[in-house]
Amino acid sequence: MKNKSSLKILVVSILTLSMFLGCVGEDETGLKPYQDPNLPVEGRVKDLLKRMTLDEKIGQMWQASPDLVRTYNNFDEEKARKLVIGYGVGSFLSIAGEDTQKLQKIAVEETRLGIPILFGIDAIHGHALYNGSTIFPMPLALSSSWNPGLIEKTASATAKEVASTGVKWTFSPILDVARDPRWGRIIEGFGEDPYLVSQLGAAKVRGYQGSDLSSQDSILACGKHLAAYSETTGGRDYSPADISERTLMEMFLPPFKEAVNVGVGSIMTSFNEINGVPSTANTDLVRNILKDEWEFDGLVVSDYASVRMLYDTHYVAEDLEDAARCAVEAGVDMEMVSEAYMEHLERLVIDGVVPEKLIDDATGRILKTKFLLGLFENPYGSLDPSVINSRQHRNLALEAAEQSIVLLKNEGILPLKDARSIAVIGPLADDPSNQLGGWTGDQPAENVVTVLDGIKNNAPQRTKVRYSKGCDVLGEFDNIKKATRIARRSDVAIVVVGELENMSSEPNCRVSLNLPGNQGELVRAIHHTGTPVVVVLINGRPLTINWIAENIPAVVEAWFPGQEGGNAVAELLFGKINPSGKLTMTFPKSVGQIPLHYNHYPQKNWDHGKYGKRYVDIEDEPLFPFGYGLSYTKFDYGNLKIIPSKIDKKGEIRISLDVKNVGKIRGDETVQLYLNDVVSSVTTPSKELKGFKKITLNSGEKKNVKFTLTPNELSLVDRSMEWVVEPGIFEVMIGSSSEDLRLKGSFEIIE
Ligand code: NOJ
């Protein structure tokens, strides 16, 4: 027995070794080594690369636009053949369903080497560009759940739906730390804090990719946009980032590093430049930091036509050929949509400008990804239509929405009791398409539960529900009078206002954070009827709703809550769920306060005696702080223990505390841990989130919550731009929001 198994090991080792040396041709079944799923991926890549012409390698490095295989929006077989057989296209953007099957068949059956195509699509909150799929809350909404496990589940449900349409790659998660609420793409990400974005981004990567990329249900994730894309000028999309190396390292790179740590399979370079260097041509960022320093071995894709942008937008390349050179040298393996690689790389290699080993490295990464995804064995996807908008996924969409909603204000009016008649008012109360958020294709209205539907579904029997739109979001249609009439006749008015779906997401930014159109007027008019008002917000960014926050007794932030959003809002209004969402972005009181984050540097707090106040026309505080959100119950914090109180730089600190639900109903609390490195060689934020835990407690129940702080959480970027842990005192602050800190303690790091 022993001898037999050692013989087997010997044979496998010889085979593997000879694969690396490239001496194996075909096995007895006629399979070439790259076609043999039993051989190691590295060897398969090597074998396949050896068989490929330069042209074929460059074809793999192109992600073509879907328009190139369509005529009048219909699949065009002739164009498809030309691209797939003629150019050997490695990937297509935004094609899902039937057309993937036709293209894949050509690639697998009619090309010389049968290399399958990798299809990629934006599925940032469900497979939302695909008609009929499950639509989860937008990522900023989901981040308010502070629940990585839930986020992972939504991503794995999304992966199932995406894979069932022949697609194995999604351009998600967005890992841009959101710094300016005017920027439209903050709704696509996880808020303003680098630690939170890292944790939630990693959860999403795990959800998409699962434990085995080759499983039928897994898809490749893509961390984007490397880097500092969210550091805009004036909140505009596609604007240059002018930032220090310190800010880049402390604020923008950590979520990408974390994604790499958990094995993200691809990274997208951003449209923007950083300090004069566009990311798609940034060798330091892509090749040196990402690929060499962090040892990222997946594939790097450019953003949409951002290779071409190097010459026609940024003007750092002479022409398209020069753009191809810049991007490939920087380490961009695949070009999305533009055709610089396709048209010019061959010449650049033949002329000796670009070494062929760069092409081999890029193509090798793409092929490796295809092998890991199991595309050679199963090129067509899981093709199981029953997962699309399944009952299980709809339930998950409901749970996700329930946990994403943030109760901003409640002066005892919620949950609603004894309301026999309810007026549902507002332009977003019954607007299915504006409830889903960006990156959503056409979706059947009947799949979407609006707030009006949700209230009808969840209101106690015999409750009279009246509806009036009142006005449009943009103010074109105005029937505020009718709305006030129904409000007068009702016990309570639920006014649903906010932003249109196309006021956020790429590239839709705003200069104002006020409620658009006449919606403010609508809310005031309903309030003046004397009927108690609850404002429900459906929107893509923090809004300066100062008047509402001051005058309306209850305010609910629902964001773009997805297809089950209406049910979730109604459950919250009627007390069927207890709100648990917490803000992941600071709400300013005025656009003039931006940038406004909780993790600011200490100088912001400097109290200069009589000159203490900075703005003469507004206080410096936010409207609602980071981490804030109300519950229908109350939690007490106590019994903080920090062990040990002194430790060396490599040590770990264990923190524990008790949280008790002292209210009458069950509820969830997100316990937040903030740190302050009290004296350090460089300034550090007055508080930084370094841990969080969401727990559920029954009325009267107490739970012990534990955190462990490792050197990762304690380190700072020192004056030589190195991540180090410095000796000294660290203050620990634990609480229910960045402002509501209930427990404080400290520990010391010694040399
Ligand atoms: C441009 C966007 O910036 C990016 O996020 C997206 O993934 C690509 N287009 C593909 O749609």
Greatest Cα-to-Cα distance within the chain, rounded to the nearest angstrom: 90
Q: Taking residues 312-319, what's their average pLDDT?
A: 98
According to the CATH classification, is domain 396-586 in 1.20.1290.10?
no
Q: In the structure, what pLDDT confidence band is assigned to residue 17 with cuts at 50, 70 and 90?
A: very low
- Give residue 691's pLDDT: 98
- pLDDT for 132-142, tens place per residue? 999 999 999 99
Tell me how far the alpha carbon of residue 270 lies from the centroid of ligand 1, in angstroms.
Answer: 9
| Percent of the chain residues past pLDDT 70, beyond the cut | 95
What's the pLDDT score for residue 13? 42
Task: Please tell me the distance between residue 334's alpha carbon and the centre of ligand 1 in angstroms.
Answer: 14
Tell me which residue has its CA closest to atom 4 in ligand 1: 303
Q: Model confidence at 2, in pLDDT bands (50, 70, 90)?
A: very low
pLDDT for 21 beyond 70:
no
Burial (CB count within 10 angstroms: exposed 0-12, middle 13-18, buried 19+), residue 460? exposed
pLDDT bin (cut points 50, 70, 90) of residue 610 is low
H and E: helices and strands count for the chain: 22, 28
The ligand 1 atom nearest the CA atom of 94 = 11
Give mean pLDDT, residues 144-151. 98
- pLDDT of 4 above 50: no
559 C-alpha to center of ligand 1: Å? 22
Distance (angstroms) between ligand 1 centre and the Cα of 510 equals: 20
H-type alpha helices, 593-693: none
How many C-beta atoms surround the C-beta of residue 593 within 10 A? 18
Q: Closest residue (by CA) to atom 11 of ligand 1? A: 122
Q: Report the residue among 118, 121, 122 best suited for mutation to probe ligand 1: largest number of ligand atoms under 8 A from its CB.
A: 122
Report residues whose beta carbon is within 6 angstroms of any ligand 1 atom: 122, 171, 224, 303-304, 506
Residues 6+ away with beta carbon under 8 Å from 110: 81, 84, 85
- Name the residue of 183, 224, 232, 504 whose CB sits within 8 Å of the most ligand 1 atoms, as the mutation to test its pocket: 224
Q: Work out which ligand 1 atom sits closest to the CA atom of 270.
A: 3
Average pLDDT over residues 637-665: 97
Q: Which residue is listed with tokens 């092409």?
A: 359
Please provide the average confidence, as pLDDT, over all residues in the chain: 95
Residue 474 has pLDDT above 90, yes or no: yes
> What is the arithmetic mean of pLDDT over 574-603?
96
pLDDT at 78 (0 to 100): 96
Which residue's CA lies nearest to atom 1 of ligand 1? 304
Does the structure show a pLDDT above 70 at 333?
A: yes
Position 174 scores a pLDDT of 98
pLDDT band at residue 25 under the 50/70/90 scheme: low
What is the pLDDT, as a whole number, of residue 238?
A: 95
The atom of ligand 1 lying closest to the CA of 174 is 5
Which H/E stretch holds residue 170? strand 169-170
Span from the CA of 348 to the centroid of ligand 1 (angstroms) = 28
Task: State the average pLDDT over residues 173-177.
Answer: 98
Paired tokens of 571: 């459950």
Mean pLDDT of 141-158: 98
The more confidently predicted of residues 104 and 15 is 104
Residue nearest to atom 8 of ligand 1 (CA): 304
Catalytic residues: 303
**53-385 has which CATH code?**
3.20.20.300
Residue range 47-60: mean pLDDT, rounded: 98
pLDDT score at 513: 98
- For every residue of 102-117, DSSP letters joined together read HHHHIIIIISSS-PPP
Mean pLDDT to the nearest integer, 515-539: 98
Q: Which residue type sits at 467?
A: Y
Closest ligand 1 atom to Cα of 271 = 3
512: which 2 tokens? 């104002």
Residue 11 has pLDDT above 50, yes or no: no
Could you tell me the distance, in angstroms and rounded to a whole number, from the CA of residue 303 to the centre of ligand 1?
6
Ligand 1 pocket check: which of 186, 187, 336 to mutate, most ligand atoms within 8 Å of Cβ? Answer: 336
For residue 22, what pLDDT band results from cuts at 50, 70 and 90? very low
Element (H, E) at 399: helix 391-404
> What's residue 27's pLDDT?
66
Model pLDDT for residues 434-462, shown as the tens digit of each residue = 999 999 999 999 999 999 999 999 999 99
- Domain 635-749 is classified in which CATH homologous superfamily? Immunoglobulins (2.60.40.10)
pLDDT (mean) for 246-272: 98
Nearest-CA residue for atom 7 of ligand 1: 171
**Ligand 1 atom 10 nearest Cα:** 304
Gap from CA of 305 to ligand 1 centroid (Å) = 10
Atom of ligand 1 nearest to the CA of 225: 5
- Is it true that 396-586 and 635-749 share their CATH fold? no
Residue 40 above 50 pLDDT?
yes
- What's the 445 CA to ligand 1 centre distance in angstroms? 26
Cα gap 685→448, rounded to integer Å: 42
Token look-up 């879907």 returns 66
Task: Calculate mean pLDDT across residues 395-399.
Answer: 98
Dist CA 379 CA 654 (whole Å): 48
pLDDT mean over 78-87: 96
Which residue ranges make up each domain of the chain?
1-51, 53-385, 396-586, 635-749
pLDDT more than 90, % of the chain = 92
Ligand 1: which of 268, 279, 308 to mutate, judged by most atoms within 8 Å of the beta carbon? Answer: 268
H/E stretch holding 143: helix 139-143
Residue 127 has, within 13 A of its CA and on its CB side, a CA count of: 33
Q: What spacing in Å lies between the alpha carbon of 434 and ligand 1's midpoint?
A: 21
What mean pLDDT do residues 288-313 have? 98
